[in-house]
Every structure is written in C-alpha cells, then in structure tokens.
Structure 1
Amino acid sequence: MTTLWLVRHARPLIDTERCYGRLDIQADAEATQSAALRLQQALLPHRGHCRIFHSPLQRCEQLAQALIELQPDFISDADKRLLEVDFGHWEGQRWDAIGEAAISAWARNLAEHAPGDGESLVHMLGRVGSALQDAKALDAEHVVWISHAGVARCAQWLLQHGSLLPQSHEWTLPAPAYGQFMQLSL
C-alpha cells in the first residue's frame, strides 16, 4: 500500500483575508525552513521509498527546495495538477470585497461554478484525480505532494467519494495547516 503525504506550503506573504489561490507569491522563509526540517525528519526513515512532487507555485517550490537542501538525495518534480484552484478575477481581492452574492452563487453550485470565472471544482477534481491515479501507479511506498489546502481537500474527497460531486455543505474536509502535513492511504 502507498502512503500519500499531503504537505501544505508555509504561510504565504499575503494578507490571508485575501483570495490568493493561484497568485504566485512567496512563503515566509523562516516558516518554510521549519516546515522543511519537520518534513525531512518525518520522511527520513522512508527516503529510499518515496517520490516527491510539488505545485509549481513558488510558495511550494520554496518548500521543495528547502527540503532538498536538507536532504540532497530527495528529488522533487513540479506537477501542474497540484496547483491551487484558479479564482480568476477574485485573485488578490479581499474576501469581504468579493461580495456575498458572488460567494453565495458559488456555494449554490460548488462543483460546477467557476468562482471569479476561474476554475470549477469539477475541473480541479479531474486534475487532482489524474495525479492520484499516477501516484497509485508509481512503484513507491510513499508519495509526497507539496501543495495547497484545496489539493488536500480534493485528494481526500476523491479517495472517500470517488466521482460523486460535493455539495457545499459536504465540503468540510480538513486541510493541513501552513507548513504541516497529513497522510492518506492510496
């Protein structure tokens, strides 16, 4: 059986009251180093049996690079399927400025509505599902994804519910805190 490690990037250098899904922003350098050290210590017993992938956004790339600096025999490959959801023209706006009507429209049709004319959850579930299929096919005991909260929720949903589409009241899955990780069985 393969263990999937869902690792969330460190705290981004942005007001977290803003919608920042695909904004390519850096993470706090000190928090990134701390996260890399925790992850290295957790992965060390498995280092010969793990494959590491990361979102190409710089806050995830920072963590992947920090991990590799600590443990040079680790290699991480960028995978676009591990990107956070694209919030379109909502990106960079404060959540309270987006407006209740726009957020309610998204909540009414969580799976198929593309918030900010960006990416729908159906599309995101499809790309994360593709990455999950590839992870299951790898000859690795441990697969590590350095990515985002939305990717972690999608992976959990797909492993628990398959192709069923979530309603907004069902989209309550946890995600790792900044710089933390969780493990799932594939």
Structure 2
Amino acid sequence: MSRLWLVRHPRPLVAAGVCYGRLDVAADPQHLQQVRDQLAQELPPGAHVHHSPRQRCAKLAQALCEVRPDLQSASPPDGDPDLAEMDFGEWEGQTWDALGEAAVSAWTADFAHHAPGGGETVNQVLQRVGRAWRHTQARTGTGQSAVWITHAGVIRCLQLLRQGVHQVDRASQWPTGGPACGEWLSFEWGASGPTPA
C-alpha cells in the first residue's frame, strides 16, 4: 500500500512571533542537517519527493536526495507552488503583536472568505492542496511512497481533506495540531487519516 509522508520544513531563521508565511526565509543549517539525517533513515526506498518552492523546503529536499540517491525528485526544479505556505499578503514580515487583535479577529470572524493581508483565504489554500494531493495520487504507483516537504498550513489542509472537509466555514474547524518544524506525519492511502510516523 502507498504511503504519504508530510514533512514540515526545518526551523526557519526568523524572529519569534513573525508572520512569515510565503517569505523565503532560510532554514537553520544545523537543524536541516539533523532532519535530513533522521528522514534518510526513515523513508522507504524509491519514494517520490515533492517540495514547496521556499528554500527552507527545497534545500531539505535537495540534501535528502543527495544522501539517498534512490529517492526520486518529483517536483519541478523551482518546487511545486501548490505546496507553498498560505499567502498572508501584507501581513508577512510583521509580528503578530504588531498586526493587532482586531486584524486577527476580523480574519477569524469571516474565516471562509477573509484573505489576511490581502493574500489567500483558507479555502483557496484548501483548493490548491487538494489539487496537489490529486496529482500525487495520480503520479505515484501502487506500493510506492511519496514525500511532501512543506509547511504547517499545507499539512493541516491535507488533514482536513482526508476527513472529507473541502471547505471551512469557521475558524474552529481549523486543525490546531500538527508536526513541529522538522517533524512529520505519514498515512497509508485509504486509511482513516494521518497518524504519527
């Protein structure tokens, strides 16, 4: 049976409390190496590796394929834009404290339709993650495994999609759990949902 691994990128080199979404911030090099070594021991032979365009994901994918030549890079050279983190528009690079409670409350009050900072709505992200999931399923053969090196928002979207949720109406529907930086989940296709790897 096929298995999908959902890997969150290593710790980014960004100040705590900053909304960094699609900002192309680098990963901590020591943490990247640690995550690479752990993943290299865990992933099955011949897995297809997909990654977000952001360097904190792309560099991990590259490093992983270098130490595990059996892994197959399945993303375009610049990465798969459908695996990018949510676009927070003008909020990116600002601290959550500076954005203020009113701005965040306006988003959560109209969670289905409000695009924070003029970026993307949560439902737009769900749509493109769903597209990435369909493409991965179509391109990965029975018994093969796939790896997404991506972001927390993308992983949470796939958790919802696996539960049959293709659109959210309320902030309370958004998953609060998920892997920390450098951690992952995996699930077998056809299983009830993601389970810790």
After superposition, give the CA deviation of every residue in 1:118-175 in whole Å (9 maximum; x if it has no partner). Answer: 0111110000000111122221521100000000000000111332424111213422
- Contact preservation (8 Å) 1:156, 1:173: no
TM-score where L is the length of structure 2: 0.88
Q: What residue in structure 2 maps to residue 181 of structure 1? A: 184
Any gaps of 5 or more consecutive residues in structure 2?
A: 190-197
Q: What residue in structure 2 maps to residue 82 of structure 1? A: 83
Q: What residue in structure 2 maps to residue 97 of structure 1? A: 98
Match of 2:160 among 157, 172, 178: 157
Query: Aligned to 1:47, what secondary structure does the other structure show?
Result: coil
Q: What residue in structure 2 maps to residue 142 of structure 1? A: 145
In the alignment, the residues of structure 1 paired with residue 16 and residue 160 of structure 2 have an alpha-carbon distance, to the nearest angstrom, of 24
Shift in CA distance, 101/84, structure 1 to aligned 2, threshold 3 Å:
same
- Contact preservation (8 Å) 1:54, 1:61: yes
In the alignment, the residues of structure 2 paired with residue 59 and residue 146 of structure 1 have an alpha-carbon distance, to the nearest angstrom, of 9
- The worse-fitting range, judged by mean Cα deviation, of 120-129 and 160-169 is 160-169
Shift in CA distance, 173/158, structure 1 to aligned 2, threshold 3 Å:
farther
In the alignment, the residues of structure 1 paired with residue 69 and residue 175 of structure 2 have an alpha-carbon distance, to the nearest angstrom, of 37
In the alignment, the residues of structure 2 paired with residue 173 and residue 11 of structure 1 have an alpha-carbon distance, to the nearest angstrom, of 19
Matched letter for residue 66 of structure 2: E
In the alignment, the residues of structure 2 paired with residue 185 and residue 121 of structure 1 have an alpha-carbon distance, to the nearest angstrom, of 25
Any gaps of 5 or more consecutive residues in structure 1?
A: none
Q: What residue in structure 1 maps to residue 7 of structure 2? A: 7
Shift in CA distance, 166/152, structure 1 to aligned 2, threshold 3 Å:
farther
Matched letter for residue 64 of structure 2: L
- Contact preservation (8 Å) 2:126, 2:167: no
TM-score where L is the length of structure 1: 0.93
Q: Which runs of 4+ in 1 moved over 3 A?
A: none
In the alignment, the residues of structure 1 paired with residue 90 and residue 58 of structure 2 have an alpha-carbon distance, to the nearest angstrom, of 24
Does residue 31 of structure 2 align to residue 51 of structure 1?
Answer: no
- In the TM superposition, residue 115 of structure 1 has moved relative to its aligned partner by 0.4
Q: What residue in structure 2 maps to residue 127 of structure 1? A: 128
After superposition, give the CA deviation of every residue in 1:92-127 in whole Å (9 maximum; x if it has no partner). Answer: 000000011110011012122100000111110000
In the alignment, the residues of structure 2 paired with residue 4 and residue 131 of structure 1 have an alpha-carbon distance, to the nearest angstrom, of 12
Tell me how many residue pairs correspond in the alignment.
Answer: 183
In the alignment, the residues of structure 1 paired with residue 188 and residue 104 of structure 2 have an alpha-carbon distance, to the nearest angstrom, of 33
Q: What residue in structure 2 maps to residue 111 of structure 1? A: 112
Query: Aligned to 2:155, what secondary structure does the other structure show?
Result: helix
Among all aligned residue pairs of Structure 1 and Structure 2, give the percentage whose two residues are the same amino acid: 48
Q: What residue in structure 2 maps to residue 27 of structure 1? A: 27
